[in-house]
Amino acid sequence: MTMMTPQPLDQQEDEEMLVPHSDLVEGPQPLVEGPQPMEVAPADNDNAGSVENQANEEPQASRFTWTIENFSRLNMKKLYSDVFTVGGYKWRVLIFPKGNNVDFLSMYLDVADSATLPYGWSRYAQFSLAVVNQMHNKLTVKKDTQHQFNQRESDWGFTSFMPLSDLYDPNKGYLMNDTCLVEADVAVRKVIDYWAYDSKKETGYVGLKNQGATCYMNSLLQTLYHIPYFRKAVYHMPTTENDIPTGSIPLALQSLFYKLQYNDTSVATKELTKSFGWDTYDSFMQHDVQELNRVLCEKLEDKMKGTVVEGTIQKLFEGHHMNYIECINVDFKSTRKESFYDLQLDVKGCKDVYASFDKYVEVECLEGDNKYHAEEHGLQDAKKGVLFIDFPPVLQLQLKRFEYDFMRDTMVKINDRYEFPLELDLDRDNGKYLSPDADRSVRNLYTLHSVLVHSGGVHGGHYYAFIRPTLTDQWYKFDDERVTKEDVKRALEEQYGGEEELPQTNPGYNNTPFKFTKYSNAYMLVYIRVSDKDKIICDVDEKDIAEHLRIRLKKEQEEKEDKRRYKAQAHLYTIIKVARDEDLREQIGKDIYFDLVDHDKVRNFRIQKQMPFNLFKEEVAKELGIPVQFQRFWIWAKRQNHTYRPNRPLTPQEEAQTVGTLREVSNKAHNAELKLFLEVERGPDLQLVPPPEKIKEDILLFFKLYDPHKEELRYVGRLFVKSTGKPLEILMKLNELAGFASDQEIELFEEIKFEPSVMCERLDKRASFRFSQIEDGDIICFQKWPPPEADEQVRFPDVPSYLEYVKNRQIVHFRALERPKEDEFCLELAKNHTYDDVVERVAQHLSLDDPSKIRLTPHNCYSQQPKPNPIKYRSVDHLIDMLVHYNQVISDILYYEVLDIPLPELQCLKTLKVAFHHATKDEATILNIRLPKPSTVGDVLNEIKTKVELSQPNAELRLLEVFYHKIYKIFPTHEKIENINDQYWTLRAEEIPEEEKNLGQHDRLIHVYHFTKETAQNQVQVQNFGEPFFLVIHEGETLAEVKARIQKKLQVPDEEFSKWKFAFLSLGRPEYLEDSDIVSTRFQRRDVYGAWEQYLGLEHSDTTPKRSYNASQNRHTFEKPVKIYN
């Protein structure tokens, strides 16, 4: 479930900040704070979610009035009211008359019987608390909030409710005759038992699992699924049994819809999001439903081309409208037909859907300065508007709940009341929304199919949908995994938004209604045309689903059921992992070097706990071909030094026990595994022989052989030795195991531990095993002796040095920073290498004399990109510090640069990447300007003058900040360069044209940008490109005159320039200009938000090659649009 975000700023003016609080907090508390728990542990956010998520059924509301006499003489720290009942629950008000460690009255609503309620209880209430002003009712202090009460938070309210100075002032009217009146308005909704609830059983439908922040997608997918004609078309998209759902959107959507139709439990969406090409990061980014709807429909439309279902998206969702401009005084009319898949309707200033449609087709008069330039008639008064040619069978209405607030320079959510009807008649008032070309025989009467709701604020929240799948009176709420039955009031009226007023069931003193803003409201509406209802709400059954898909999904279902059954029966079974000599030979020196075996790679048996161990031995005999009499099992034990070794053989008494009992004896961790070592002995002829009797004196040792020339460690076998014996006595046997001559001199080392560091010590061959503290399961490594001479070019001459190397070795993949996707080379380094060691090895590989010219940048394991900041000179101690990401993940990638000066010198300088634009040449020159950090922009410009050719020796330069093809800033020459960031913005230097230096009183310097328009489903998006520039415009200058100057400045050929269009753009909306228009009249406002958002736009095709992201650019700095990549 998606966590709720705080209310948008526009709704928080009278609210206070939520701060957890308890009686235990000492010292001054913040004066501004909001609803809080009192005397509780910190809040547990696991249940965070929208109120709509938790509550169900009609609220039951009541007002409780508490009269407190002799208030100023109260000397207790806290005081409870009498108990009152609302919604079948017992409540009371708790106050701190002298404040809860603050100079404010503290007041909370408390669950009166919390101490006696059953474990796991929960209840939800919306409530207000008030101190009545008995002189002037309108001065009553009242605060409202809402809360999910539970064992951890059995009270909630306001620590700083009102200043004690106001409360106790007899002239303020809160205490009359030393009596205080407290009021509590409480509205309770019953809470569904989330865990016990079965959506399929209760409603016949199942929900979709939330991947982190995918509730917006879930609500849209449920809406599309419940349009049967759409679902049938998806089923009929051609897919094959060889397709993989994660790589095929059609198959993933078919699979999802099939599961929604036939599963008994909620369905996961991971396959579908993977087919979109999304990673986990995308799944945790909350996107816009409208945007996802358009992108998904476009993608499906494309995938349906050339198939039997081609055109389905258009048939269902595509309508057409006509944009027209009609002259009033001459016979001239211009029209343009456009298609749409959804309509965006205004909410602000509109009381309902009809008012929004009225606004949509509102006629705009073009007159005065805004006259229309008609081709042969010059400037004319005209009417401009939109009328609908046809509406689609499925009408998707996107409600503009989010708007930009210019006063606050931020996006805000519009929570105003906005009504929408169950039946929508778009033929009303004699078809006033229809164009003259519209087919009047089609009846545009629609019935509501689904309501998508957003609950929360502008920066996030929760999405869910109310749908009536068969258009009956029964509505259903699809809220991620949970589906509930709802009535029409919940689906419609309660989603209108606005303020809610709870009914008063207990009217009393100061009977003011209890109101609160509703943050849950409709965001998208789907209507179905009544005349198309039977065609769209059609039957979809198994015959619509390809056989290979049915087989695949049924098999998946069976596998899932097997896994569920396996899990359900897991408590009856034990997994026994049996390691043998063969496993040790296979793994040591390849998969592992320390200890003896990786238990996850050995043979395992799933055995019922009740089976006697002796019977299990028969299973082993059958499986491994080793008769029972030749088997001896050893129990493994974890030692204090974190090694894991065979500890002792099982006794006959233990082997008579059940497997389950034995597991509990051997494993204190109580996991379901029993790990054993199977000892099998062979005679000289390699035939199996019974294991020798083991007495207390006998010790089982394991041996590894090291070859320093091959740098190879391998397992060679095991031996029993006597504790009183000495290593000298087994040297010939070890030479035999190694294949050496019997008199070969060898040296022995004991492998003691490897965490946190390696401990491997020479074993005294003349001391007894007991004296050397050797015991069962110990590992002895040996090698030929004496070790190789230094001149033999052997890196690790003995066992300890080799094991030290293995423990610390690290293969690092180095990538050039400017090519961050490709491995350039790999080096084998050690985790304990110093900073100097690492850069020396890199410099050596690159044949570079000065290692201090190497600069390294660490890797971000999550974004799979270089981190923004490189590693400073000697700022880390060891290689491991360069590779650790957020103290846990170890990366194996580093990025390198070869600098032209040593890194310590560079760190005292600031480097800026500046694009210099010559006054007459097309190509920009990229300069790396390097100056001491305290330098100014003026110093940068002087440095540039020394590096470039100027149009004249005295030319003045300026430095601009350019971002996404717009100019955002001209840097003052005195600004310090240390804080200028060239990582995300482009810095551009250019000569200041002479005409700009001598601006007349009425001249204006305007921004000029190139743009193209992209139209997607009636949504016009302006895309800027190319190099932006400034232009001086003079008073009274026409567009034709400005165009001539622009053409000369940009040196565009006549033929190409004739295709260019010119528009005045404000906040992305183009208003096209005619040659006779006076340009300066459009640029009168000087208080516009951000000069870069009001500009003269040059519309023409973008022929510049697309550029990929800069290597060092962080792609996640700005919110990503919804993209489906496959």
Q: What residues contact residue 174 under an 8 Å CB cut-off, 6+ apart? A: 131, 132, 133, 134, 141, 162, 166, 167, 180
Strands (E) in 22-88, as ranges, are: 35-36, 55-68, 79-80, 84-86
Tokens coding 871: 């590693």
In this structure, which amino acid lies at residue 983?
Q
Rounded Cα distance, 954 and 939, in Å: 16
Rounded Cα distance, 1078 and 940, in Å: 39
N- to C-terminal Cα separation, the chain: 27
Are the beta carbons of 627 and 688 closer than 8 angstroms? yes
DSSP single-letter state for residue 435: -
Distances (CA, A) of 356 to 344, 398, 422, 1068: 9, 11, 16, 22
Name the CA radius of gyration of the chain, rounded: 39
Rounded Cα distance, 203 and 1009, in Å: 56
Distances (CA, A) of 431 to 46, 389, 769, 837: 52, 11, 103, 81
Q: At what angle do helices 613-624 and 659-666 cross, to 10 degrees?
A: 100
Rounded Cα distance, 803 and 340, in Å: 69
Please provide residue 74's backbone torsions phi and psi, each rounded to the nearest 5 degrees: -65, 130
Active site annotation includes 365:
no
Residue whose C-alpha is closest to residue 1008's, from 1082, 1101, 1099, 1098: 1098
Catalytic residue among 21, 236, 454, 462: 462
The residue written with tokens 């609500």 in the block is: 219
Are the beta carbons of 186 and 91 closer than 8 angstroms? yes
Rounded Cα distance, 1017 and 1021, in Å: 11
- Number of Cα atoms under 13 Å in the Cβ half of residue 858: 21
Burial of 132 from C-beta contacts in 10 A (0-12 / 13-18 / 19+)? buried
- Strands 698-707 and 779-784, how do they pair? parallel
Are the beta carbons of 750 and 778 closer than 8 angstroms? yes
Are the beta carbons of 762 and 783 closer than 8 angstroms? no
Q: What residues contact residue 412 under an 8 Å CB cut-off, 6+ apart? A: 8, 9, 10, 402, 403, 404, 405, 458
Tokens coding 527: 């209507």
Catalytic residue among 215, 760, 781, 861: 215
Are the beta carbons of 829 and 837 closer than 8 angstroms? yes
Tokens coding 1058: 């004739």
Rounded Cα distance, 6 and 413, in Å: 12
SS (H, E, C) 93-119: EEEECCCCCCCEEEEEEEECCHHHCCC
3-class DSSP assignment, residue 493: helix
Q: What residues contact residue 242 under an 8 Å CB cut-off, 6+ apart? A: none
Q: At what angle do helices 289-304 and 215-225 cross, to 10 degrees?
A: 50
Active site annotation includes 462:
yes
* Segment 681-686 long-range contacts (CB within 8 Å, at least 24 positions apart): 681/630
Rounded Cα distance, 423 and 975, in Å: 62
Rounded Cα distance, 808 and 796, in Å: 13
What residues act catalytically? Answer: 215, 462
